[in-house]
Amino acid sequence: MKQNILQSWNNKWPEVKSTKPLATGEGVIDQASFDTIEVGKVFDVVNQASTIAGQSVLYRSLAQPSCSLDEIKAKQQAVEEIKNNQAVRDNVENIVISSAEKERSLYLLLFGEFLGSMGTAREAQQIEGYGYRQYRQGVRFMLNLSESIYSSGEPESPYLRAIFNKINIFTESRVHSLMEGPVYNTEKGFKTKKERKGSFVPATIFVPQIFKPLLIMLVLVGIWMFSQFISYSIPGLSFGSGAMSGALFAPALLIYFPLVGTYDRDSCIIPLREEFKNSKELGDALDALGQLDELLAFIKFSEKYGSNLILPTVKEGEHHSIELIDAKNPVLGMQNESYVGNDFTLDKEKLVFVTGPNSGGKTAFCKTITQIQVLAQIGCYVPAQEAILSVADKIFYQAPEISHLDDGEGRFGTELKRTKAIFLATTAKSLVVLDELSEGTTFEEKMESSSNVLDGFYRKGNSTILITHNHQLVDLFVDKGEGVAMQVEFKDELPSYKLVAGISRVSHADRVAKKIGFSKEDINSYLADKK
């Protein structure tokens, strides 16, 4: 079960990107695939959330996508209700906008660093004084949140109802009662009004302000009684009890403020905030705010993207499948009217080879497929005219990582270890993208190793896409009726960024070398000039 965002922050100042992908085989996506697919960039474009809670929930969804069809469909239904029901949308937007303005007060209460009465705050998480203002504002934020959710009535979608129910559960919790007050400070700990009922244990009521009328009155009475005692005890005293009371009042205040403030901070505010931080109900309520903001962010993303976005049709399947019409890259296509969309279907074939010269769009296309799959599995819109796909229990993307070579293994061994880990973790319901295979060895060994690996994936039955320049390897599989060959299209030696049927058998290495000024002619010219 996923941690709520309060738990994921681990008693530290809120960090939006606190959730990490699970280990290989344990979640839908692992850290290496997360990095290669560039999910962080996907977050940047989808992140239209206004609150820190919303941004944290969105990042968590992307780092740990769901593989539950019911959960994905429930989120889609909630998105549609917010988008199509203006009253619901207005309510959600009001909650989010109000929370964005005030949520920092809660974080300051929960995670702020006390500087003491003489300190000056220079950082966002630092607290001057004794923390009374931060306590009042942080508590008020949560109480306002619990009061605001049903202004548009009961939502229809189960997912929205579940979100609202988290906040309702918080309103019935002990922590909510403590925030609502009064808080009774007893020798057996803090008690709510309900817990205090019928108890005869001595208690003081915590009042979150330095000026406490009853206490000040007692101080004044004490000063007056002391002055009366002194004036009657010392005959011939030159000034009366009234003057003495006035003289004692200023020193009493100098003692009163640090004594009362320090007591309230150390004995009430800090212990209470520890209880708040460890409250599952409060964490779930904050999570609910984040979920509302996440759903709203999906809608804002769809409205801002600049071309067709749809909620994809997501289904279960015995093996993974995907069908896309005019699919665009979620990141590169953002507000880019000239971006070229592609159609793509992968179902019974199970294995697709993508070939073509460099800079033709092979990698961008494969990242488009995987990014769309991730977005679909968090309940979000995807950039396409039509999208039908099954839930992937695992999404893997392997690309060469020269900077992460294992000691003693070399490039071939390091990449093969990664491929093995992916292979063992996949099922027929998985989506795998492999960017070249068996690099760092001879052509003959590359052919043998690559064919063995691809044959294994093919027999497992998952969807596998291989980006490769090795057309001989593609020929081998196509000749035996396993897999489909696609290539990036070039017209007049320029990429059209369209994916078409076929196997590319040409290299544009010379064109690329000329483009960057390192062709054979460039080298010869450089050496001639040096003579």
The confidence score (pLDDT) of residue 448 equals 86
- The answer to whether domain 29-173+280-302 has CATH 1.10.1420.10 is yes
The confidence score (pLDDT) of residue 165 equals 93
The confidence score (pLDDT) of residue 224 equals 47
The confidence score (pLDDT) of residue 332 equals 95
Structural contact between residues 76 and 379, judged by C-beta atoms closer than 8 angstroms: yes
The confidence score (pLDDT) of residue 7 equals 92
Over the range 90-129, which residues count as b (16 or more CB within 10 Å of their CB) and which as e? ebbbebbebbbebbbbbbbbbbbebeeeeeeeeeeeebbb
Euclidean distance between CA atoms 470 and 510, whole angstroms: 18
Over the range 161-184, which residues count as b (16 or more CB within 10 Å of their CB) and which as e? eebbebbbbbbebebbbbbeeebb
Residue stretches of the chain with pLDDT short of 50: 224, 238, 244-245
Residue type, 219: V
Structural contact between residues 186 and 201, judged by C-beta atoms closer than 8 angstroms: yes
Residue 395's DSSP bridge partners are: 431
Euclidean distance between CA atoms 277 and 449, whole angstroms: 53
Q: Which phi and psi (to 5°) does residue 425 adopt?
A: -85, -15
Euclidean distance between CA atoms 315 and 68, whole angstroms: 10
**Residues 248/250/252/257 CA torsion (nearest 10 deg):** 180
The confidence score (pLDDT) of residue 528 equals 79
The structure's pTM equals 0.88
Q: Where are the domains of the chain?
A: 29-173+280-302, 207-274, 309-530
Token pair belonging to 53 = 């809670």
Which listed CATH number (3.10.150.10, 3.40.50.300, 3.40.1350.10, 3.40.190.10) goes with 309-530?
3.40.50.300
